[in-house]
Amino acid sequence: MIIGKSVARVDAFDKVTGRSKYTDDLCEKNALVAKIYHSAIANGKVTSIDTSEAEKIPGVVKVVTCFDVPKIYFPTAGHPWSTDTSHQDVADRLLLTDRVRFCGDDVAAVIAESEIAAKQAIKALKVEYEEYPFVLDVQEAMEEGAPQLHEKYSNNILGHSSIRKGNIEEAIKEPGLIKIDQWYDTPIVQHCHIENHICFASMENGKITVVSSTQIPHIVRRVVGQALGIPWGSVRIVKPYIGGGFGNKQDALYEPLCAYLSKVVGGRLVKLDVTREETFVSNRTRHAIRSHIISWVRPDGTFAARKLECFSNQGAYASHGHGIAAKGMNAFPQLYPCENIECDSYTVFTNLPVAGAMRGYGIPQAMFPVESQSDDIAQAIGMDPVEFRRKNLMPVGYVDGFSKNENYFDTFNQCLEKGKAYIDFDRKRKEYANQTGPVRKGIGCAVFWYNTAVWPISLESSSCRMVLNQDGSVQVQLAETEIGQGADTAFAQMTADTLGIPFEMVHVISSQDTDVTPFGTGAYASRQTYVAGFSIKQTALLLKERILNYAHELTRMPVFNLDIRDGRIVRTTDGRELLTLEELSTEAIYSLSHSQHLTSESTYQIKSNAYSFGCCFAEVEVDIPMCKVKLVDIINVHDCGQLINPALAQAQVHGGMSMGIGYALSEQLLIDEKTGRTLNDNLLDYKLSTTMDHPHLEAQFVENYEPTSAFGTKSLGEPPACPVAPAIRNAILNATGVSMYQIPMTSQAVFKRFKEEGLI
């Protein structure tokens, strides 16, 4: 059994020695360089662009403006395509636009022989605008008379969904109820992956090839075809190694534009490499969501009724749109089931940078208000916050009516027990109960809910191809993409385990090429190991069957008495080794009597989903006069099913915890309210959490084998980022008695709340 072992990553040595090739490494040095001119205003219309001075600059090959590109609207979100038009993403983007909707919108592009010439030409463009009023606040954008960004969406509402259960008006008449009513805010943040988005394009024999740092090569292929109005089969997308994505690269960012720019210069090679500043402003961000929760609670800690309103700030274009707010809202009645619930979620256009997918997909924004209020309620009724959660959390046997997900195990209590034991929760709650000094300690907890993959909302399918090589090794191709998380290693372990061969005999092809790689939708929704597991197991079993059928010819033994163990064909009746897989495969290929290339390929459509649960416990030290929060200790406990590779699982959790720490304490994209411009679009002014801000990051697991899964596994990639911010917030509450209602909890934000509560 190779499943469950911490084997070294298949790409480890090449990555640490610098041999791995990323997009920029693969681009020829003679490529033309493209640069984009971004809007300098937040809302308005481009009335003219004078390109004459730019065109005079030596080395400039072509200037393309918003007036030159085809007026074909296309979607950018990395969702599976649907033939049902009502389930298709909003097509609201153009390659370049004269109707600009945020500071950073794409207005024109320059193609030049060098980066210097391209940059000079961008500066030489003279753009004139008709400027309109703009709106940045999500609720102000919904008001009558607010600037309208898109004609089809009145009051700027991109999407609205609701949940109704029971009768709140009757429920709240129950005597003795305690009402907790509060607003909570989460900020705009950026993904900050190491490698900025980059792509290059060229044409040959009428086909456009784009090499791109993308999470979703097959989806990007379709979007490029849509954007250029050409058959999808005339587009080829190649994805090499990626230096991180975290959801930002789950959009078709600049592949369509890059392909078009190559086309207008006769198919020459054009590279479009964006700067860090462009990544912050003109790629994608995490949605800022404002939530309003009202809970009516009985003195025993059970819920009588609850209301939720959330307002998701979409920014200027639809991208992933309402899916983020809707997913967060759906978590609310499932995490803490209640008989009487009203939920409304709104996604609203504003003149801000475009929000899209980011690790957690709405659940970090949902868990902050939900789990903050859990502690606020526990404090109001004088109940231990862990016991309050135990009383109300999703019970064993709960089934969601829509997804059909089922909670099979007592996961929450198992995770909470591990977290409590590590942090020494009970003892420290007593110890920190009556502090009076300027520096105080506190501990807090938070739980989370997460789905695995996107069924039944969208298509879930995975395709796999396996080829038996002459030496008995197996090469594996999938469209599920390695984006730094270690997926290829897990895929190799699954393949080896199913086929019965050593891990070293599996060669996973890490790059994806839409002309070669079987179809799949890519890396998102924490779907990789769960979804790919189905096609890997099915394809491996098909290959195993073909291998054993050929072994029957060579050994005369019946297939039902044969098996593959450790790369050898064995007779199961007595365990005798009959021949090696290398001997079989060499004979199969070169046989003069029966030459056969042993391969298998299959598609598995997944029509199930799975709950992933866990918790976070955090300990903080708060310097009250300095309004400074120091994270002292933290643990995440996850039930992600059976671990395929424990070391990779630990790494996933550590990375997610780091993102959660930054989300809680320091990260926020700041916007100038007077102009709509981003103020901190760089890694100096944007306060990214680093190892210097971290204590030891403890990751532990509860391994409950997921019964719907091919290998007992379920989502882990995104969940670690979800519970961290509210756990830290609740630790601050425990230390100081002051509730924080927004993140990040910087010194300025802490000062404001301490002042309001009279602590300073």
Q: Which of 351, 382, 402 is the last residue of a domain?
A: 351
Counting the structural domains of the chain, the total is 3
State whether 113 and 158 are in the same domain.
no
State whether 199 and 251 are in the same domain.
yes
CB atoms within 10 A of CB 89: 21
The pLDDT of residue 196 is 97
Q: Which of 254, 282, 310 is the last residue of a domain?
A: 282
State whether 272 and 305 are in the same domain.
no
State whether 111 and 252 are in the same domain.
yes
Please, which pLDDT band fits residue 434 given cuts at 50, 70 and 90? confident
Cis peptide before 744 (omega within 30 of 0): yes
Instruction: Identify the CA nearest to 523 among candidates 491, 570, 501.
Output: 491
C-alpha to C-alpha distances, 192 to 227, 249, 353, 639, 670, nearest whole angstrom: 27, 11, 15, 27, 15
Q: Flag whether 380 is in a domain.
A: no
Q: What is the CATH number of the domain that holds 92?
A: 3.90.1170.50
What string of DSSP letters covers 336-370? S--SSEEEEEEEEE-SSPPB---TTTTHHHHHHHH
Contact 291, 307 (CB under 8 A): no
Mean pLDDT value of segment 140-161: 97
Strand arrangement of the beta sheet that strand 506-508 belongs to = 506-508, 474-478, 461-468, 599-605
The pLDDT of residue 546 is 98
User: What range does the domain containing 146 cover?
Assistant: 135-183+288-351
Distance of CA 506 to the CA centre of its chain: 28
Please, which pLDDT band fits residue 1 given cuts at 50, 70 and 90? confident
Mean pLDDT value of segment 568-574: 97
Q: Could you give phi then psi for residue 339, rounded to 5 degrees? A: -75, -25
Cis peptide before 187 (omega within 30 of 0): no
Q: Flag whether 174 is in a domain.
A: yes
State whether 278 and 312 are in the same domain.
no
pTM recorded for the entire structure: 0.96
* Residue 688 reports pLDDT greater than 90: yes
**Secondary structure (3-state) at 87:** helix
State whether 124 and 23 are in the same domain.
yes
Q: Flag whether 177 is in a domain.
A: yes
Q: Flag whether 172 is in a domain.
A: yes
Angle, helix 363-381 to helix 323-335, in steps of 10 degrees: 30
Residue range 456-491, pLDDT digits in tens: 999 999 999 999 999 999 999 999 999 989 999 999
Q: Give 636-681 as a 3 state SS string.
A: EEEECECCCCHHHHHHHHHHHHHHHHHHHHCCCCCECCCCCCECCC
* Residue 615 reports pLDDT greater than 90: yes
State whether 92 and 153 are in the same domain.
no
Residue range 322-356, pLDDT digits in tens: 999 999 999 999 999 999 999 999 999 999 999 99
Q: Which of 575, 605, 635 is the last residue of a domain?
A: 605
Contact 513, 238 (CB under 8 A): yes
Please, which pLDDT band fits residue 620 given cuts at 50, 70 and 90? very high
Q: Flag whether 589 is in a domain.
A: yes
State whether 157 and 275 are in the same domain.
no
Residue range 634-674, pLDDT digits in tens: 999 999 999 999 999 999 999 999 999 999 999 999 999 99
Q: Containing H/E element for 413?
A: helix 411-423
* Residue 520 reports pLDDT greater than 90: yes
Q: What is the CATH number of the domain that holds 497?
A: 3.30.365.10
